Amino acid sequence: MKRYFPYLKEYKWQCILGPLSKWIEAALELLVPLVMANIIDVGVAERASIGYVLAGGGVMLAMGAVGFVCALFCQRSASIVSQGFGTNVRNALFRHINTLSYRELDKLGASSLVTRTVNDVNQMQSAVAMIIRLVVRAPFIAVGSVVLCLVIDWQIGLLVAAASVGVGVVLWLIMHKTVPYYAKNQQKLDRLTQIAGENLEGARVVRAFSTREKERARFDGAAQDMLDNSLKIGKISAFLNPLTYAIVNFGVALILLWSGFKVNAGALTGGEIVALINYMAQILNAMIVISNLVSLFTKAHASMNRVSEVFDTRSSIADGAGAQCDLSAPAVRLENVSFSYAGTKQYSLENISLTVPRGATVGIIGGTGSGKSTLVNLLPRLYDASEGKVEIFGRDVRDYAVRDLRFLFGMVPQNAALFSGTVRSNLLWGKADATDEEIAAALRVACADGFVAEKGGPDQPVAESGRNFSGGQRQRLTIARAVIGRPAILILDDSCSALDFATDAKVRANIASLEGVTTIIVSQRASSIRGADAIFVLEDGRVAGAGRHEELYRTCGLYREICDSQERAAQ
């Protein structure tokens, strides 16, 4: 819990004055039964003047008014603190997630991270509000009532204390039993979020394959799983209020019985009995509040553990010392590189060695799952190699500051990811201070200037994930985003798959005309890399062949098979 105190630092006065005002309200509430007892014993039993009774009533009204103002102030403070705390934690969590490498993101899962950032932080935020509003008040009322009962009559006070301890034991047992189930509930919510997200993202695929019933059944299964777990929580928590009421009401019955004997003996007055019953009622109300808070704090505790798990996760990619690149050295050099994804010992790449000269155009081709995308992801250090060395311009990638290393690259991923905003805002990812001329030049290189002009220019909106553009248009916009900053190394990871052959050839020709840019093209099309200075053929994570097109066609059976099969398909 201490790790979250800094997120409350800017609200320290609200954290102090809010609970303090709640304590004042609670103290006034504890004094009301004493004032009432005095009115009964003096103003009524001893037949004092009506003015005495009215004065006592006036005191009670004044105490109620002050308590009301204090409660309003506390409520306002709790709202400010809880909302500010939630915002600070959520911002810090989002920043931390963005420092993690692909390896950690793959391990935690996107749906789980979304749930933790939104739902789990909300649970913690609610807990902070309740701590300020009710947690300081309810125990104070319960303990204060017990103490005042002991002051009025120590024997009856002991009965009240015993009842309070009994309720406390019940609360602890219920909380102890339900904590594991609340943690499971959040995990099951992760699964539910994942399925919902997959279906919303892939709605076109689901409908194209008419699998709505299947996906609905999968969602229903996950929802039922969460329901079953929630019912287990409900069955345990169902004992909370009945047991609490039973213990408190049994205590009230014993107090009334014992008080009757004491009144007959003259040891207690009528006003004191009324005060004792009022204090018992206050204890009951306080315990009810605490019992309701138990479930809230149990969920918040589980959520806090899940958020802490993300904060405790450290990126496997550490910043280097800040090496300077040597532009006279080869742009890329891999030496005996092997790589395996988290959670598996099987290598996706094994013993890869290759060199890419500066300014060259290199093609990488191979079957599905041969490791093409994995290989290019190692270059800008999206993943770290498990074994071997990856060098960029003569320096090990681990020696670069991560930010400096990635500034050397322009990367076009397999999935053409655009962000909601405008065409301009998406291109500015590649160069934040790009001018209109640079934007226009980048669009021309990517053959995107035509359709962008038809849609109204660079300031036209881009919908979520670029859904208002076709697949080929999205790919060309991502290419424009990558080339606008004129990177030293441009990686095209199967980024022209949705383009026709003519447009593909034109885009490649435009990219080839860029001076000083080393281009690495990952493609399923042999025609896209036919003119490359060097081609590397991958098979099952290994280099099966390397050379120019003519040489590979003669010496590499796999490459020849790929070329021949694509030529037959084109006929």
- How does pLDDT run across 21-30, given as a tens digit for each residue? 988 888 888 8
- Alpha carbons 131 and 359: distance in angstroms, whole number: 62
Lowest pLDDT segment from 289-303, 366-380, 439-453? 289-303
Q: Provide the pLDDT confidence category of residue 261 given band limits of 50, 70 and 90.
A: confident
Lowest pLDDT segment from 88-92, 439-443, 513-517, 519-523? 513-517
Q: Specify the pLDDT at position 80.
A: 92
- Amino acid identity, position 335: E
Q: Specify the pLDDT at position 44.
A: 66
Q: Provide the pLDDT confidence category of residue 81 given band limits of 50, 70 and 90.
A: very high
Cβ partners under 8 Å of residue 63, min gap 6? 28, 31, 32, 35
Q: Specify the pLDDT at position 140.
A: 84
Q: Which residues of 500-532 are buried (b: 16+ CB within 10 A; e: fewer)?
A: eeebbeebbebbeeeeebbbbbbbbbbbbbbeb
Tell me the chain's radius of gyration from C-alpha atoms. Answer: 35
SS3 455: coil
- Alpha carbons 320 and 266: distance in angstroms, whole number: 84
CATH top class, domain 2-312: mainly alpha
Name the nearest CA neighbour of 427 among 415, 408, 440. Answer: 440
- Alpha carbons 381 and 430: distance in angstroms, whole number: 18
Write phi, then psi, for 191 (nearest 5 degrees).
-65, -40
pLDDT at 418 over 80: yes
- Alpha carbons 348 and 562: distance in angstroms, whole number: 21
The yes or no reply on domain 415-486 and CATH 2.40.128.20 is no
Q: Specify the pLDDT at position 204.
A: 66
pLDDT at 48 over 90: no
Q: Specify the pLDDT at position 132.
A: 86
CATH architecture of the domain formed by 317-408+489-507+518-571: 3-Layer(aba) Sandwich (3.40)
Q: Provide the pLDDT confidence category of residue 90 given band limits of 50, 70 and 90.
A: very high
pLDDT at 45 over 60: no
Neighbours of 24 (CB within 10 A): 17
Mean pLDDT for the chain? 84
Cβ partners under 8 Å of residue 47, min gap 6? none
Domain with CATH 3.40.50.300 in the chain: 317-408+489-507+518-571, 415-486
pLDDT at 549 over 90: no
pLDDT digits (tens, 9 = 90+) for 228-260: 888 888 888 888 778 877 887 887 788 778 777
pLDDT at 570 over 70: no
- Amino acid identity, position 395: R
In contact, 489 and 379? CB cutoff 8 Å: yes
Q: Specify the pLDDT at position 94.
A: 92
Lowest pLDDT segment from 44-48, 290-294, 300-304, 450-454? 44-48
Q: Provide the pLDDT confidence category of residue 571 given band limits of 50, 70 and 90.
A: low
Q: Mean pLDDT over residues 355-373, rounded?
A: 87
Write phi, then psi, for 364 (nearest 5 degrees).
-125, 125
Displacement of CA 461 from its chain's centroid (Å): 27
- Amino acid identity, position 389: K
Q: Specify the pLDDT at position 46.
A: 58
Token pair 């590189």: residue = 337
pLDDT digits (tens, 9 = 90+) for 447-469: 888 888 888 888 888 887 788 88
Write phi, then psi, for 545 (nearest 5 degrees).
-175, 150
Domain with CATH 1.20.1560.10 in the chain: 2-312
Q: Which residue(s) pair with 395 in the sheet? A: 392
Q: Where are the alpha helices (DSSP H) in 446-518?
A: 449-454, 471-483, 501-512
What is the model's pTM? 0.73
Start-to-end Cα distance in the chain: 68
Name the nearest CA neighbour of 443 among 520, 523, 507. Answer: 507
- Alpha carbons 465 and 201: distance in angstroms, whole number: 9
Give the DSSP H/E element, type plus range, for residue 385: none
Greater confidence, 482 or 210? 482
